[in-house]
Every structure is written in structure tokens, then in C-alpha cells.
Structure 1
């Protein structure tokens, strides 16, 4: 029995996320997930992406090159990271000009700190293939970007592990960190008459959103939801995330970790066997979560969820239309941005996304009306969650033309034709 019942038992943290102790802990989590979590995909021998970075270790130095791995089988690691300012943070990219050079060699010294750390982690975990977006996609080729973006769902879903530089705001911040000494376990002095057992104490680790800047990025939401396993390198500790739950070094993963709860909250979004209405509501939940996050380019609003849409399409009966679904189109159109008083809402001049899609405006905090509505008759009569009967509009035609080969990505144009009852009303502005 503890003499301090109000103190929560916890574990010690490694203190250095680059230390052998931290890597051993990560390897234990990985092995446990692989061997004991039936809910988690093994992904031990899968079809590889088009390109991967192949890691060789010669002496004490890494030698890297971009490999064409299409139609090959194996296992690989993905990196989830913040780019930051591309020029200020020295982010190396694969371009049309250096593509052939990268097939031969990617100079170690040209890599940012985050890339170097991710490659080191991959190697120490016993793996030698890693997928990094800026290096495995030809950045100045729109055709290559569109093609690879359409494969994003399978790239993350088939990965063996995703390494997340969760404490970093830019590519130069790296993955590794040292914990504040206040959060390291220290022995408590005992009297000579006390028991022989040692008692250690440390301050609780902060788990606020400021500790996880990566998780504020829009692209990262689908990377988390699609990845079967994610190893977070946080500001103070390592955190493991998979379909079975969240585990952290400090053993307090269930307390005040709002940024990390979103994966477990949405984890059923891709689960098989749920009723269609569940998938409808889950998709709207994901959109609401996504619209709170940041994107460098507003044109990425649809591509950044395209991977999730690709996966969910297997469980939906209708087409995907610019972030909405044909089998729930009327309710999906009933979105608004809470707290926004701008009229009209901000919209990019070159945006081709149809105005009936939430992705057509640059704003946060999307909310839906009548998310509990369900059809009860073939004449388009619906019942809402408060048992009010409504006759919804009839959709006569709905179409979207994608900008590229990915129907889940950017939109060139879209239109909906519908008919609905009209009411006579007066709109007055109240001072």
C-alpha cells in the first residue's frame, strides 16, 4: 500500500529520446503491437510505394539513395513532419533536375535534422526503407504529385510504422529531444529505519496541445488515421499510438492529452461492419476536426483528406463529391462555419471547388445541421434526431470533375441540380 495514496504511480522516462533506452522501449512497443494486437495490421510484407529511400550503413556513416520500388514487396517506414519555411529550413527535395542524381546518392549533409533523425531511427529499429514526401515525390512535377497524392491512402495504410516528429515546428528541429530534469525520476531520501525499497519521484509531464505542434497540421490528421502504428517523438518523451490505444513513457497517456485523443476518437472511421449512418456521421466528425487544423496552401483542403476518402469509399454506396458523399449529400451540404460573421466567407480567387462544399472557403470550425437525420421513405421524407419530419430537396444531378487523375483531390468544377419546396419569407437586419 502506498504511503501517498494521492500520488499517481508512474514510470520513469528515458530522458533522451535518442538514447538506447528510448530505442529499446520503442522496439518493445513495436514488437508487442506486431505480435499481440489482432486489431492492428501486420504489414510485414506489403507492396511497396513507387519510390523509397534505401538506407545503407557503411562503417559509421549512412549512404542513401532513392530507389524505384514499384511492384516490389517488403516493409517500410513513413515520416510525418512539419516542413516549416522550405527555404529557411534547408529542406532538400527531389526535383526533375536532381531526380537521376538522387537515384544514385542523396548526400547525408544535405538532409535536414528531422530527416537525419528519422533515418537514424529507422535503421536502429532494424528497417532500411523510409518514405519521405519531399524526397519520394518529384516536387516540381504536377503529374507526379497528382499521381502520388492519389496513392497517399495506401502509402500510409501499408506502412510498417510511421515516425512522427511531433514536437517539431520545422524540418530543422529534428526528432530527438532531452527532457527537463524536473521530469526525470529522482530518489527520495529515506530515514535509516525505512524499508529497503527505493522510492523515486518526478514531476508530471505536460500533455497540452503546445507540446505537439505537428498535430496542428491538416495533412497529419489522415496520416495518423491511416497509419497502423505511429511513434511520436514529443517534447519530453516517446508516445506510441496504434489501433489498440495510446502508450507513453510516463504512463499517463489517458490524462489531458487532447491532441492525441483525436485518433482514438475517429479510429472507427475506417472500421468494417458499421451501419452506413455511422460512416456518414463519422465522416462529418473528421471534416470538423480537419477544418480546425492548419494548411500552408488552401488548395490542399481536399487532397489532404483524399487518402481517408479513398479508404472510406469502400464502405459508402455513393460517389465522393468535393468532400461530400452522394449517399448523404443533402445533410452533408448543411454545413456552416461557427462564429464566422464574414459574408461571403473568404475564398481563394483561383479556387475551383464548388461553393456548396466546405472545402471552398478558408475558415475553421465547420459545423453541420441535422447530422442525425435519416431517410424514412422513398419520397425523400426524413426524420431528424428530435423526431421532426422534414421533406428534403430532391437531387436531380450531381457531378464533379477532378483537376487531375485523383477523383479525391482538387476539383476543376462541380454542379448540383435539385428541386425543393419554397417558403415566403422576409429577411431583416436587426441592429
Structure 2
């Protein structure tokens, strides 16, 4: 299950290397990086017991000869300043722990097992003041011991040495574990309604894929097991299928002909190699599998959620700024160096970055259209930060640089991962809104189109439709969103919704409630809310439609009677006044998420 460890590179220690007095005083040993019996009370990340490591200026000077100072400096970034506003900056550190995912025991208590200890590096102004550099520092590196040097029989959760080229035996092992142990990862994404969904070729007319064996484009066979490539085009000149070349591209060997092969962006060529290495045969790529000047193009684009929701694997090219960036590690000679230092013979520490260290600087994770592709990925092979990792709907991340297979295969963890159920439905909806609102769109009118695939998730998770991004059965609650920072108005959408603003929005439903259960919210709505919500069919129309609600019209009347005592004005009217919002006709962008363009609440005040 766990592949053998790669030998540690030789020559890590420089002839002049020696721990400085401050680092030597820490008296670090391999045993310090293991959670010993009796210390399980340690939390995963503690803000207490912060220790001073030294001034940044001193760490820089000592890093020339001290291996630990050198590792710490790289964790902070080579551009870290010595001072801010005339105040020296100092390095701080604290211990944290890691281990298997939590699970519920027989008493339904959440159980954490802490196995590995790590050092988290930070920075502050001398004396404890918060510094601007730290708030801008996106890399949150940890220092850990190599699995080769861990003083335990099990090497799980310790750091692993990686090669200059991806070991696809490792990747195949991750997918094999998933196939054997994660039944919920099989089949199509829940957004496609597994009960009604038959086959992708029934959903999309002339659905094409790349045949990596015959090296050509072909119509997909039924029950086709294919990988879908999610990537950023950027400014790269794409090579695409058209009505004039599709017949030629469908001939075996067409994609390796020089006149075609050299025009295919490197990321796509690398993805073809990855599919072959994984023992799969078919790959879907938008530029080659959609005939760009054909009448069926829009039909396929509108069903991108079907393409990714039905794929056996998503390959995510999250590094680079365009389609020519390639997939790091696919080819030999790629610079995938880890920073490893030797503290003493048989005791080596390494920087342990996480995927989140790189996402903030990745163009991929800023794009709105990429959100639904990631949301629909049941099995996801992600290339970022010079490495490849694997995630699925049932498990934590598998990484090249960590012995993480046990994290991926633990059956108790899988039980916990899927035990939250209804309690997390509202939180899941909040997360989707928050993450998507932070993405960028080249064309503002795509605000709903790039979110289309998520509507079916909301329909199934919340049993609700969306009106301008707000779940209709929980309007009262989801209008309570807040901006994460200063936002800019998006004029084509209503200001009362998060979709009416560019910038991250934070729904506060769970924050202001004791539960995140959708059924609890439905009961609360019947008990305590009294507003009757309507949607206008158009800006210039009198016609209003009552939106979905957990209450019946008779319950509406009961609710208003119950609340009447709280107000001096009448609350008895539950039908909207006949009026229009504007005079004349305007053009409004409509999508499947916004078939009704205005949300309207009727409250009758005395004249």
C-alpha cells in the first residue's frame, strides 16, 4: 500500500555547516518530531507557546553557515525585510501536530490521533507587534523530519523525498486505493442526478475525446472512462478542432503528425502522457474535443458540468499562466527540488509546503469558470507547486512529498468524512458562494453562466432554486451576507445579492445560528419569519410570482397575524402591489440561475 521510500540525496551538508548557538540551544532530536505517549493533548495547531527564534537580520547572517537558519529563511522568503517602520522584525515558531483525519467513536465523539510534530514558522515586530509582511506572506511553511529519519516503525505522515520526475507508480497507487475503498467516488457527480443520468454520449451530441492510444480525436464510445483536462488558456495560441480539420484529426496518428503535434500546447501534450501513464485511453480537452466553429459548440459549452461531472478523473493544470506552461514533473529533468538540510547525520529536516501555499499566486484559482470544474471533480489530479497531488470526494489529499496513503485509506476517517450529512448542507452552500464570489471573470455577463453547474448541487443539497445566487427557500437568511473587503458594484446584477458585487462575499447563516441543518432552518422559518417573498417576471411587468417557501399561503397569514403585535403598521397584506420598477423595457442578461430578474418583498405601510 505504501511504496518504498526514496533514498535521501547525498551531499546535503556543506563543509562549513554548523548549527549556530541559538539553534544548538534548541537541542532538537528526531524524537521531538513524534507525538509521544502522554502528549496526545497537543492540538493540531496551537497559538500558545510561541517561541522567539531570533531577529531576521541575525537569521540572514547566520544562514550562511547554520543549516537550520538557512531552512527558516527559505520558509519566510528570501525577500523578507529586516525591519518595518524602523522596528526590527523577529522570527517566531510554534509546534503543531498532524495525523489521520478525525473519526467518530462508538459514543459518537470526535476522535483525533496526533502522530507527527512539525515546526510552524512566523514573523512579527520585535516585542510582539503584527507586521505587514506577515499579513502579505501567503506561504505558510512547516518544517518536518524526513520519513527516512523518523524514529518510528510507521512512516505515515512524515515527509517523503521526491524525484525530479513524477513516480506514476505512486499516482496509480492513490487511484487504486480510491477505486478499492471509496465506493462513493465511483459513477457520476451527484450534480448530474445519478438516478436519471444514463451516459454522457446521450447528454451531449457528438461528444468527442482524444484517443491516446490511436493518437487521434474520436467520438466517445458508450460507458467511456475518460479524464477531463481543466486548465487556463491564457495568451497561448490554441490549436483547435474546426469543421475544416476534424476529418483529418480523426484519423489514427493525426495528433503526432508534425504539422499538428507542434501546434498543440504543452499542457495538453503533457496531459496526454499522463493519461497513458495511468493506463487510461481517453482524454477530453475543450479546444480539441469541441469543434469551435460548429453549431453544436454552445450545446457542449452549456453542458460543461456534464463533461466534468461524468469524467472518471479531472486533471488540473494549476501551475503556469497559459496552456504552454506544461505539467511539472511529467518530463525528466524538471526542477522539483526540495529544500532539505542536515542537522546532523541521520537527522534531516525539510520544508513542507501545502497546496494552499501556491493557490493564492496561481492564475488558475482566480478564474470563475474554473470553479465549477473543480466543484465537479470527484477524483482530481492536481499539478501545482512543482508537484502532483490527488484528492477525491471521500478523502484527504495525497501528496508526493508526504507519506499520506494511510490518510487516504483509513476506513474510520471515511466514515467520519461522510457522517456530517445534513448538518453541513448550509455550510456547504455558504462555502460555494464565498469561494465563487472571489473569482474573476473576463466578461461580467458570465457571472451566472460560470456558476450554472452549481444550481443542481443547490437543488439537491438544499432542495432549493437560486434567484441571483440566493437560495429561494432561505431568502431571509442568505441575504445576510457581508463583504470580505472593499467591493466594486456589478451593475448588471441586483445589489442585494452577493452576485451584485465583485470581490469575496461571506454568507453568515451558520455564524448567526446554533445549527447548520437545512431542516432546522426550515422549521425556524415557519416559526419566526413573516415576510412573503415574490419575484417579478420582468422589470416592466406587474406580474409577480411567489418564490419557493416552506410555508403555505395559509401559514403566511398565520405568520403575519402572529407578528402583528410587534409592529404599529399593518402586516396583513401578503400579495404585492401592482406596480412596475421601471417605465419602458430594458435588456437584462438572463441565465438558468436568474430566470426571474427582481426579488420583491411586500410590506404594507399605512398611508
1:163 to 297, 300, 315: 315
Alpha-carbon contact 2:234-2:323 (below 8 Å) kept: yes
2:239 to 74, 92, 99: 92
Deviations 1:310-334 (A, max 9, x none): 2332344343323222211233334
Judged with a 3 Å threshold, the aligned counterparts in structure 2 of structure 1 residues 163 and 303 are, in CA distance, closer, same or farther, namely: same
Instruction: Measure how far apart 1:240 and its partner are.
Output: 1.0
Alpha-carbon contact 1:153-1:307 (below 8 Å) kept: yes
Instruction: Measure how far apart 1:187 and its partner are.
Output: 8.3
* Residue of structure 1 in register with 2:280 after alignment: 127
Instruction: Measure how far apart 1:139 and its partner are.
Output: 4.0
* Residue of structure 1 in register with 2:469 after alignment: 323
Q: Is 1:230 the equivalent of 2:380?
A: yes
Q: Is 1:359 the equivalent of 2:502?
A: no
Distance in 1, matches of 2:441 and 2:335, equals 29
Deviations 1:207-253 (A, max 9, x none): 36462412333223322221111111222322111121111111188
Q: Identify which of structures 1 and 2 has the higher relative contact order when contacts are C-alpha pairs closer than 8 Å and 6+ apart.
A: 1
Alpha-carbon contact 2:465-2:472 (below 8 Å) kept: yes
* Residue of structure 2 in register with 1:293 after alignment: 439
Instruction: Measure how far apart 1:354 and its partner are.
Output: 4.5
Where 2:183 maps in the other structure, the secondary structure is coil
Residue segments in structure 1 that go unaligned for 5+ positions in a row: 191-198, 255-263, 383-390, 425-431
Where 1:181 maps in the other structure, the secondary structure is coil
Please report the TM-score for the alignment, with normalisation by the length of structure 2. 0.53
1:24 to 169, 174, 197: 169
* Residue of structure 2 in register with 1:220 after alignment: 370
Deviations 1:78-111 (A, max 9, x none): 11111112xxx12223345555554454522221
What does 1:66-215 align with in structure 2 at a 5 Å threshold? 67-69=218-220, 72-85=222-235, 89-95=236-242, 98-104=245-251, 105-106=254-255, 107-139=260-292, 144-177=296-329, 178-183=334-339, 190=345, 199=346, 201=348, 203-207=350-354, 209=356, 211-212=358-359, 213=362, 214-215=364-365
Judged with a 3 Å threshold, the aligned counterparts in structure 2 of structure 1 residues 244 and 56 are, in CA distance, closer, same or farther, namely: closer
Judged with a 3 Å threshold, the aligned counterparts in structure 2 of structure 1 residues 398 and 134 are, in CA distance, closer, same or farther, namely: farther
* Residue of structure 1 in register with 2:398 after alignment: 247
Instruction: Measure how far apart 1:144 and its partner are.
Output: 3.8
Q: Is 1:47 the equivalent of 2:223?
A: no
Judged with a 3 Å threshold, the aligned counterparts in structure 2 of structure 1 residues 93 and 272 are, in CA distance, closer, same or farther, namely: farther
Q: Is 1:419 the equivalent of 2:596?
A: no
Judged with a 3 Å threshold, the aligned counterparts in structure 2 of structure 1 residues 355 and 317 are, in CA distance, closer, same or farther, namely: same
Please report the TM-score for the alignment, with normalisation by the length of structure 1. 0.72
Instruction: Measure how far apart 1:338 and its partner are.
Output: 3.8
Residue segments in structure 2 that go unaligned for 5+ positions in a row: 1-28, 34-143, 148-157, 189-196, 406-412, 514-520, 539-586
Distance in 1, matches of 2:374 and 2:30, equals 41
Alpha-carbon contact 2:343-2:349 (below 8 Å) kept: no
Tell which structure's C-alpha radius of gyration is larger: 2
